[in-house]
Structure 1
């Protein structure tokens, strides 16, 4: 029987709980004798014990004219609550993160939050000091890399021979059946930034920690000296005020690098146009995670989690059983009975969230969305729940007025996984995000009240009607494109007594490989572009300054942002 996506995820979720069963992850044949990881069920982790890390813990850096230096480093953070294993003790977890130069520790893997100003460029130097797989303590990374994917392949000049040799329904052999061993690759993508292509930090812009290997699209500012393990970007900050963020984007390893902790915030302010007197801003970066019985990050890989034999470690979709906010599992936050501006960021690998804020008496608090990924709305939009998919951001005002000191409220999540028709969340674990505790007020709240629906900005220029989706009057469409999202599923097969159920193999746009080449056969309708000796074949080449209408047809079982 061939499993569809929902059935695959359901069985994976059962296996993930069965991670309470005696499944052990000990799959790295390239590292010799390996201590197996035993997953810790999310239900065994205490909730609402520690306060949520705020801007002070995440680290806020106000950008100016001087260069900001961030080092990608491995360190021990504290994502698990106090008392998870020993009363009164905070467990330590090995993670990766972006640390300002000179800093060697942070309680959370997330951060920092860079606060930039529109019209004033920000120069940032990103230094890869992640080291080598042989010395890394982040087992979720070293034991989950899969060389049969199209990936950076740092030691082989991006040859990707293992990906080319991978055959559906067959086991790989030799080095292709092992995890990657070598210097760790990374790159930095500015997510949501309106920047030239070379500043985007795309999947092929990676560089290794030893400075010896780089992707063919690697970029560093040509006028600024840098070492081999550094990249210098000068972001123009020319766009409207917006909640953008930066994270790793290494080809074939993004899921692992971000999971290990490589993510930070980047807020662009526009003093001339920002809405005045907004309530206090609080970032809420939401991620699902798994941990082992030693308090370390756990990432399912290999048998029994993989659906197809040709990718020996890759699991198509990660579904964690622990919800973290700002890098802390199920935290609480003290709030006064007043308004707050929450900046929601979905930093999860694959999980969507459908959230509402419910008081202990069962009342859902109104949520007024005032901004999206691209910036502020014209006026607030009243929501009864907020839906946010991976990578998306939403700026929302919530008013706790009327709740007495001592009252509590909780962010609840009801989104099925995969969204919208997958497995129902566990109401006692993945159905909970964080808790609010109401404390006595210190002053009257005179901040902007979204319930008035007062305008937030000068009305934006729209290219389409937000209700009908039709092209706005006066807009000239130069080209229309139709793009389909197609998911390829592997067939069930049994090899060496192990039954592989079959499941997602890849997602294709217009049913074509992203390189425009498959088994050395090049599509004649793609345009070849060569950069630093590597040729990539492009299907879509928009012209700068023109307006295009893109129709994206989702033929997969998942919702996509």
Structure 2
């Protein structure tokens, strides 16, 4: 079944499925597990038992601090990692680890991050959630070539084609960099949990799958005045799914193992799902936890898999998760949940009180959207005895400016669906340099996203506020400032957005990385 015929037969409208698409769509998803989009890729390696491997916490990188800025140096490099016990996994890494090292910035203090690429492939680095000048945003053709010169700029651009020969990409906003690039982040934004990852056009799915992802945390005075859990009780958790070959290497369904043509095989075009859940790079880890409150910074860094996270057993009275923040930082007030749904790219900042479980309890974090191995995520083992408690989640967290939809100067529609040759926004596959919108800096706009299948939508430059879902109220996970919003099939979301500070070319796209790689992106130009 050829790629073009598959997508053409499965073309969808927002209100329903074309009749011809049903058997093909069912065939593409017959190996999916549970309610997740995409297709399950099963491991061939011997897998460990869940909850045997200790939870690792990514190391925090120390910057070189000067009078004007904090400067970080990151070498993008191959590494062999012991992810599955007893096996070695060749990975593409930031600084030799997966996840990469955690970067820490402070609101209002400029951060410079110098990336040097010693990998065998070009890369692009995007700070997801960063309020960033266009030249440092990680436009998908702003590649850093390998430092050894093995790949020319012409060859790098020719390879970014969505699998359609003859459609090479132009150089992007920041141009081609030979070996290294310095990204400038003014950090004129609130405290928040950000992350950085590969963003190369047509190759993002492979780059992230092989290890190119890490946390970037931003702190400010407002956050630090609150009595939130700190230190070892403030834990970033990067949740991903992967599949492994028998020798421990990452398994991924490339259409071309020689890496000259991008894309995955036809069966995986709706997204690649792994059968092993990694948390901070460890399979189904366990964390020994004192009976006190912890702050968990939850990030869904999977290529395509959404999660509905729930504790098993639930604490007496429910409401195990006290949400204090979203993609763009603190909420005004805490929101309590029994479960959390995270689409790819979304972050949820929560406080969990582990004193609500008895000493010695094993508390599993499970994904109720999946069956099999992908249902299990990690376990917290509750230490015995009481512990001194000095942290919590106050009733008032922050003050958030409300964007007034009544002052919107325009409403724009963005339709995310399949076309005859790939995934599209407004019936067009991505073409660098072709803008679908030109918002004016400082003006409020309403953007309406509608979907055919499941699409998590991500907007660069500024965060937005969800106004409505399907014409009704926002959903239970839409509070606060967002940069990624998860849309189940045939749904719509309206958001209010206002772009500020930086003119230039930016992106909106689906954060299902296989959809993104197959054309579901669009430029917009601010000014």
Separation in 2 of the partners of 1:322 and 1:414? 15
Asked whether 1:328 is paired with 2:286, we answer no
Residues 5, 246 of structure 1: CA spacing in aligned structure 2 closer, same or farther, 3 A cutoff? farther
Counterpart contact for 1:358–1:364, Cα < 8 Å: no
Shift of 1:311: 6.7
Higher mean C-alpha displacement, 351-360 vs 312-321: 312-321
Counterpart contact for 1:323–1:433, Cα < 8 Å: yes
Which of 487, 497, 513 is matched with 2:418 structurally? 487
Shift of 1:61: 3.5
Please list, as runs of the form range in 1=range in 2, the aligned pairs for 1:168-207 lying within 5 A after superposition: 184-207=121-144
Residues 241, 5 of structure 1: CA spacing in aligned structure 2 closer, same or farther, 3 A cutoff? farther
In structure 1, the residue matched to 2:15 is: none
Separation in 1 of the partners of 2:54 and 2:319? 21
Asked whether 1:77 is paired with 2:81, we answer yes
Aligned residue for 1:550, secondary structure, equals strand
Counterpart contact for 2:314–2:320, Cα < 8 Å: no
Shift of 1:543: 1.3
Structure 1 segments (4+ residues) deviating >6 Å: 14-18, 360-363
Aligned residue for 1:46, secondary structure, equals coil
Asked whether 1:127 is paired with 2:116, we answer yes
Which of 50, 53, 64 is matched with 1:47 structurally? 50
Structure 1 residues 304-360: Cα deviation after superposition (integer angstroms, max 9, x where no partner)? xxxxxx977463110111100000111000101111000000000000000111239
In structure 1, the residue matched to 2:245 is: 292
Structure 1, gaps ≥5 residues long: 20-38, 83-89, 100-104, 132-183, 221-225, 304-309, 416-424, 465-470, 490-504, 516-534
In structure 2, the residue matched to 1:463 is: 403
Residues 295, 271 of structure 1: CA spacing in aligned structure 2 closer, same or farther, 3 A cutoff? same
Counterpart contact for 1:207–1:218, Cα < 8 Å: no
- Over the aligned positions, Cα root-mean-square deviation in angstroms equals 2.9
In structure 2, the residue matched to 1:541 is: 438
Counterpart contact for 1:93–1:296, Cα < 8 Å: yes
Which of 257, 265, 272 is matched with 2:215 structurally? 265
Counterpart contact for 1:357–1:364, Cα < 8 Å: no
Separation in 2 of the partners of 1:361 and 1:443? 18
Counterpart contact for 1:330–1:433, Cα < 8 Å: yes
In structure 2, the residue matched to 1:352 is: 306
Structure 1-normalised TM-score?
0.67
Shift of 1:300: 2.3
Aligned residue for 2:100, secondary structure, equals coil
Counterpart contact for 1:356–1:365, Cα < 8 Å: no
In structure 1, the residue matched to 2:87 is: 91
In structure 1, the residue matched to 2:172 is: 217
In structure 2, the residue matched to 1:208 is: 145
Shift of 1:91: 2.0
Residues 97, 537 of structure 1: CA spacing in aligned structure 2 closer, same or farther, 3 A cutoff? same
Separation in 2 of the partners of 1:245 and 1:18? 25
Separation in 1 of the partners of 2:361 and 2:21? 50
Residues 379, 60 of structure 1: CA spacing in aligned structure 2 closer, same or farther, 3 A cutoff? farther
Asked whether 1:478 is paired with 2:478, we answer no
Higher mean C-alpha displacement, 382-391 vs 505-514: 505-514
Separation in 1 of the partners of 2:410 and 2:173? 31
Aligned residue for 1:258, secondary structure, equals helix
Counterpart contact for 2:195–2:214, Cα < 8 Å: yes
Shift of 1:558: 4.8
Please list, as runs of the form range in 1=range in 2, the aligned pairs for 1:25-44 lying within 5 A after superposition: 39-40=43-44, 44=47
Asked whether 1:10 is paired with 2:29, we answer yes
In structure 2, the residue matched to 1:177 is: none
Counterpart contact for 1:64–1:116, Cα < 8 Å: no
In structure 2, the residue matched to 1:368 is: 322
Aligned residue for 1:340, secondary structure, equals strand
Shift of 1:271: 2.0
Please list, as runs of the form range in 1=range in 2, the aligned pairs for 1:107-256 lying within 5 A after superposition: 109-131=98-120, 184-209=121-146, 210-211=148-149, 212-213=152-153, 216-217=171-172, 219=174, 228-256=178-206
Shift of 1:439: 1.3
Structure 1 residues 219-270: Cα deviation after superposition (integer angstroms, max 9, x where no partner)? 38xxxxx982100112101101111111000000000001100011111101
In structure 1, the residue matched to 2:346 is: 392
In structure 1, the residue matched to 2:460 is: none
Structure 1 residues 125-175: Cα deviation after superposition (integer angstroms, max 9, x where no partner)? 0001003xxxxxxxxxxxxxxxxxxxxxxxxxxxxxxxxxxxxxxxxxxxx
In structure 1, the residue matched to 2:395 is: 454
Structure scoring higher RCO (CA < 8 A, sep ≥ 6) equals 2
Structure 1 residues 453-484: Cα deviation after superposition (integer angstroms, max 9, x where no partner)? 51012x211115xxxxxx2xxx5211221121
Residues 4, 73 of structure 1: CA spacing in aligned structure 2 closer, same or farther, 3 A cutoff? farther
Counterpart contact for 2:319–2:336, Cα < 8 Å: no
Separation in 1 of the partners of 2:174 and 2:416? 30
Greater Cα radius of gyration, structure 1 or 2: 1
Separation in 1 of the partners of 2:188 and 2:315? 46
Aligned residue for 2:374, secondary structure, equals coil
Structure 1 residues 20-47: Cα deviation after superposition (integer angstroms, max 9, x where no partner)? xxxxxxxxxxxxxxxxxxx4268x4321
Separation in 1 of the partners of 2:381 and 2:276? 21
In structure 1, the residue matched to 2:451 is: 554
Counterpart contact for 1:360–1:408, Cα < 8 Å: no
Shift of 1:11: 2.2
